[in-house]
A and B are shown apart, each in its own frame.
Chain A
Amino acid sequence: MVGALNAALRDALREDDRVLVFGEDVGRSGGVFRVTDGLQAEFGDRRVFDTPISEAGIAGAAVGLAFGGWRSVVEMQFDAFSYPALEQIVDHVAKMRERTRGRIDMPITIRMPAFGGIKGKEHHGESPETFYVHTAGLKVVAPSNPGDAYRLLRLAIADPDPVIVLEPKARYWARQDADLTTGGFGIGEGALVRDGDAATVFTYGAMVARCLDAASVLADEGLETRVVDLRSLSPLDTPLIARCVRETGRAVVVHEAPKTLGLGAEVTARIVEEAFEFLEAPVRRVTGYDVPYPPAALEHRYLPSVERIADAVREVVAY
């Protein structure tokens, strides 16, 4: 996935000379996860540059650059380190178009390694999506595989509105033949990644792979589970969600973020609004807990496991 993201940045820098890439350690070092590797060497330090450690400065500067017609693609080094920039993101990045009555585009892409699963330290395993999804004016995407990572990042950069790209760091090293072209889906479209009729599991990010594992376990028991990669967290693909629930009658939502006001709350609400009469069982959520992301030694007890996911599916099927 790192290679696909790197290719997306390179192609965007090549195609549009108003694209800038900046952030902490993205230049000489190529980013702590190497997503920006080699870009400064190819495009020079006027277009790809290191900034001081200043997240609010990075996001705020992107706003000012957008007034001048630049397209900034910035990196927040880790999920939790985007919090110092929340004020700029929530108060300005997200609202400037509205405030200027559409006169000023905010084509800003904010990338960040997100979610857990790599035995990181405190502040290195956050699932910050709710903050961003809850903020009107932002789009939020979370790829689960290299091909989608390439395409979503290209779409984000091309978008006239700000897009938060949550890169599942546990999948950074996932290798897969990927289609690095720009044809296909748009932001706002989910993907059906495994078909089935017993129930639908809605998920995104690193949990997609885990839900697919759970689906294989369930298939051995004769339960064909549908898995939907939401891919775009804001806007959500409500038509796809509604269609899958109508077709399978049962739904489970899986994510790493704490349960309360996690994306599962929104997905469940939409299911109830759009497909209530098709439900044959209550919707179940399998999520992280309502506690801070734990230290490495307890991470496996916090993250939804194949077992917890499979149990939830069994439960909605047996209801």
Chain B
Amino acid sequence: MASEPDHWRGTEPLRVLAPDGTAVGDIDVGLAPDELRAMLRWMLLARRLDRECIALQRQGELTVYPGFEGQEAAQIGSATALGPEDFVFPTFRELAAALVRGVDPVQYLAYHRGTWHGGPYDPRATRFGPICIPVATQIVHAVGYAMGLALDGTRACSLAYFGDGSTSEGDFHEAANLAGVFSAPAILFCQNNGWAISVPTERQTAGEIFRRAEGYGFPGIRVDGNDVLAVYRTTREAAARAYAGDGPTLIEALTYRIGAHSTADDPGRYRVEDEVAAARAFDPIVRFRSWLESVGHIDGGVLADWEGEIESEVLAIRDGVIAQPAPPVEWMFDHTYADPPAAIAEQRAEVLGG
């Protein structure tokens, strides 16, 4: 048995499936076989698309791209657990969650194509915020959104994704404190993937991340982020608490970033290959698939069908991304203000004229 990644040591995370795909504890998370299968399909699609994006970047079709291989369970387990009214505030690494939330992947990838900043998808319609680059800043937005839900009396919550590195920023602490004080229906969801670019979790923070919640007056939970069922259950419970008016929850999902921080990064400078090889033994897709197979929810035939479907889905996304035209230059000026001041109108006219 391979050894667990370093940052998983310490408090035992909540787990439904052992790394070898056998059930531990209460396996019933309240999902029907169809829904369970759908979750695996999302994971397979997400991984295939992630790899395609890395290839597209290498071919010069995308600007720098942040991969998420290894984090499929953390993203898909959590995104699946949310209701349609709940609102996600992502970082720059949540393509899998975006897929689940119904964001058009071609539009999402416009951001990485360099044709628009946040991606032209509509955050209100998809309940998925724009891609956020300055780390931890979106956590405060999620808490603010949740404060608004409470004021409105809407039975919904917000969820902010962020990495372990982001918990070092002041914004994380301000968000957590606000959430606690206002008992905001927010889920603070940390994907602890072991690394923040070149810095490992133990050089990022001296304590265990989930424990910080206690100091802010709400529960913190550590879950095996490579166990999609455990992530689903934990997020679902956090959402239920939020809906019931019981306030925020901090979830620390222990996962592992298999690839580089981004296509601009060379992990060979700071990480040993053995670590990656060992982490592969905890692959979230293999774990979930083997459990589904063992209980007879899935078989080789279904998997083979999916493979073909996913391949054509991904190729269609790829073609859509490549076919995206450069935006018209006036876009630069059109949305800085709702009502552009004269100087902007003049600059716009100058650019269009020249």
Contacts and interface: CB of A to CB of B under 8 A. Distances in A.
A14 interface: no
Interface string B126-145: 00000001111000000000
A123 B131 CA distance: 12
A32 B115 CA distance: 24
Contacts of A289: 332-333, 344, 347, 351
Nearest to A37: B269
A52 B115 contact: no
18 contacts: A24-B197, A25-B198, A25-B199, A28-B199, A29-B198, A50-B198, A52-B203, A52-B204, A56-B170, A84-B134, A84-B169, A121-B111, A295-B114, A295-B115, A295-B117, A297-B114, A298-B326, A301-B329
B129 to A, nearest CB: 13
A7 B308 CA distance: 54
A50 B117 contact: no
A52 B326 contact: no
B332 A291 contact: yes
Given A54-B168, A119-B63, A290 B344 contact: yes
Interface in B100-129: 111, 113-118
Interface string B315-354: 0000000000011010111001000000110010001001
B293 to A, nearest CB: 40
Contacts of A52: 165, 168, 196, 199, 203-205
A84 B136 CA distance: 11
Interface string A123-142: 11000000000000000000
Interface residues on A, range: 35 or more
A119 B65 CA distance: 13
B61 to A, nearest CB: 12
B337 to A, nearest CB: 9
A123 to B, nearest CB: 5
Interface of A is mostly: loop
A270 to B, nearest CB: 22
Interface residues on B, range: 35 or more
Nearest to B92: A121
Nearest to B137: A84
B38 to A, nearest CB: 32
B117 to A, nearest CB: 4
Interface string B66-94: 00000000000000000000000000100
Interface of A: 24-25, 27-30, 32, 50, 52-57, 80-81, 83-84, 119-124, 259-260, 289-292, 294-298, 301-302, 308
Contacts of A290: 336, 343-344, 347
Contacts of B92: 121
Contact of B269 (A30, A56, A121, A292): A30
A244 B116 CA distance: 41
Nearest to B343: A290
A53 B165 contact: yes
A298 B325 CA distance: 11
B86 to A, nearest CB: 25
Contacts of B329: 298, 301
Given A119-B63, A308-B354, 5 more contacts: A28-B199, A54-B168, A54-B169, A289-B351, A290-B344
Contacts of A260: 343
B106 to A, nearest CB: 15
Contacts of A54: 168-170
B133 to A, nearest CB: 5
A290 B269 CA distance: 40
B166 interface: yes
Nearest to B110: A295
B343 A298 contact: no
Given A119-B63, A295-B327, A29 B343 contact: no
B134 A291 contact: no
